[in-house]
Structure 1
Amino acid sequence: MSLEEDYRNLKQSAEAKINGEAENNISRNRFSSLLVSKDRNFLLSPDGTKVEVSELEGKVVGLYFSANWYPPCRNFTQILIDAYEHLNSNGCNFEVVFVSSDEDLNAFNNYRALMPWLSIPFSDLETKKALDRKFNVEGIPCLIILQPKDNKDEATLQDGVEILYRFGVQAFPFTKQRLQELELQEREKHECQTLTNLLTINDRDYLFGHPAPKQVPVDSLVGKTVGLFFSAQWCRPGVKFTPKLVSIYHKIKQMLTPNANDEDFEIVFVSSDCDQPGFDSYFNTMPWLALPFGDPTVKSLTKHFDVQGIPCLIILGPDGKTITKHGRSLINLYQENAYPFTEAKVDLLEKQMDEEAKNLPRSEYHAGHKHELTLVCQETGGGPFICCDCDEQGSGWAYQCLDCGYEVHPKCIRAVDFGSMLEK
């Protein structure tokens, strides 16, 4: 080997060493600058021992902003625990750091006892505030994903909660490239979506009808508009919405009966009930079909449609493709007129609603609220909301209290005069 080749090899080796050290420094410096305070260079392990922040070097790190007092946080914590344990049992370098919004030390300790990862000490309020400001944390639960070898802000993922709900552990290592791959796979899967591949599994090619367990072939739904109703008996909003959906279901079926064409409508109950008796009792209030209780398809449908809360009504077209994930909102807004839930029909209904809104009073006093309510639309502060009178979803036009945010559907207004409000 010549002197020139020796020199070249030595130079490449030195550059590789420098680059490796630089990458480690990025990881070390970034995590230290975020998580080390002037009085502390450690985090708390699940058993309370101190773990130096430098132990995070080379790992993908999730900063988990959460609190014990908020139910959505507790729900997501279990999902994060399952993902964390799965990833680490498979040798993935993934760590989570809990950033608490709990109200006192006891609540922090009780919540932290459920978590298998690290935590910033509850007493370090300054670091928590600095992280809130750095990542613009406006709500919890919030999961910020940091990459070990990239300290650029564009490499940071702000929506870790949504990513885990949507993709689960498949999203690891939570890079932009990996998410693009998963989104492409998801698009391809939705393009190939049919009723048959959504609702059948192995040797089950049927749904339950009435009286259960009457079997109805999945293929009998092909060519129909189908609603997938995700709900459970323990879900109060779901139980409250069900009678309305039953009424609308019958009205749509009656509306279609005189038609000479082949239009038809069906609903399939996708249960999140905790036990068979709960499922049976709830399903008996419904006139439509259902997946069997505990069927694995329930989980695959929940993931496929990214269902993050119930009740939820997904509408599929006659070709089996998704028309909308907002069937519940459309039912609340337009009742049976929402059928067949297509974009063209919704556009028409929105235009009709806009025309009707021209004749509505610009403000009203509502029997259920003490302040004046102002008529608003999407462009003037409206948008998706939960009606404070009927507790159902709405969007577009609403009567809104500009003082406290109280909102009601225009159809839910029970108008009273200002004088009677003063007397109260």
Structure 2
Amino acid sequence: MVDGKPDDVICEGDVCRRVTPEEAAAHAAKAGAPEPGEADGVPKVFQLLGPTLLGKEGAEVPLSSVTGPGKVLGLYFSAHWCPPCQHFTPELARIYERFRAFHARKEDWSVVFVSSDRDEDSFKHYFENMPWLALPFAKREAKMELSALYKVRGIPTLIILDGETGELITADGRDAVVEDDECAGFPWKPRSFEEIMAGASLQDPAPADPRPVPALERIKGKVTLLYFSASWCPPCRRFTPKLVETYKALKAAGKDFEAVLVSADREAGAATEYHSHMAWPMIPYDDRKTASELNTRFGVEGIPTLVVLDEAGQVITTEGAAAVMADPTGARFPWRPQPLEALSPYTAPRINNAAVLLLVVDEEDQAKAEEAATAALGPVATATKAAPGGDDWAFLYARRGDEMCQSVLHFCGLVKDPKAEPPAGSRLLLLDVPGSQTVWDLTAAGYEATEAGCAKAVADRKAKKLGPGKKLGEDDDE
């Protein structure tokens, strides 16, 4: 074990990652803070970085000097105790210094070190060998919120941003610079789905005509389901027959869409045999470049993954597999996320990816629970999701005593026995698993399960007025 590695971090292969939310329930991080308020016209990332960055020898460097039209900003999440970081940092420094010396746009790219070190001395020692700027180590709250904003699960991670708008260019900056160390593709903006597919072809499953056809002839202007799967994956083999049935039901209902298999099999024969059990085309197995680019473009981290795209190639949902399981007949196709939804196997994963305002309704009847939740939380959910930063939020409701709701409460440490009778009354909760790994029992704090109470909870969260909350994995007597 490397000295200084946090207890809530696991190093595997060439990446160090934070523990999963499940692991975090037992080994929670001890630092955190609520979300900052939004400032009109100022991207959230620039708010978090602040007006000045740390330069060499303690110099204060204005953020404005590295942002603006034509500028590109890299956020480098790293730490001295992380072996993969120790390997990658010198490589990134070499690429960066050569870029700053010789590239045609040498003044346009700046990098900011966002440290995961445990103490300031370690941070200073590590930063000494870096040829870029840093977020001051004391800004621990901002560091954590930047990690949450870009869903940083492991280090080293290099996030590439538009220096004028703060918009994400790519979350895969590490791979981009390694694969393009001459920076010919700077700033490494990923190609759109249509651009990727323009040079690709599709192949129907046997025994259909095996000759590939241009991909855009089949999918242009249609809702497209990208199915990332492999024959060696047991969950995939269980899910594929269910997807076939949903596919057939949608076709029978006259829905205009197409599905495409993006194989993760290890050899062509296995991919071909697996594909024969499906009713849709695949990216030809030997076109690994297109398959790899699609995996990167849509951030596929595990399989099976079903990404649903609209007619323009924009993401509707990356939770298509859960949507199919929850709606096998496709009644809600193409499964556009709604501002307020019921807690279910389909929506529960959002707890891992956003701040969730959860309303537990004291109703046994599902229809009555939905009606009550829609009245209290619906307007707040709609307004918050439509406002800047709306993607950082999710709004869910559940019936009191619902099995999944009890599991969530148990995971948060709010009930000791998930099978025990829950306390009477509605309950309003705020969960921040990906960021501060904190839960707030808002009802206990005096917030009412009403539209006014829900609106106040959101406003207070943005204004950092909620208080410390309860850390995941923290016992009541700690």
Range into which the TM-score falls when normalised by the shorter chain:
0.3 to 0.5
What TM-score, normalized to structure 2?
0.42
**Whose Rg is larger?**
1
Larger RCO (CA within 8 A; separation ≥ 6): 2
Name whichever structure is richer in helix by fraction. Answer: 1
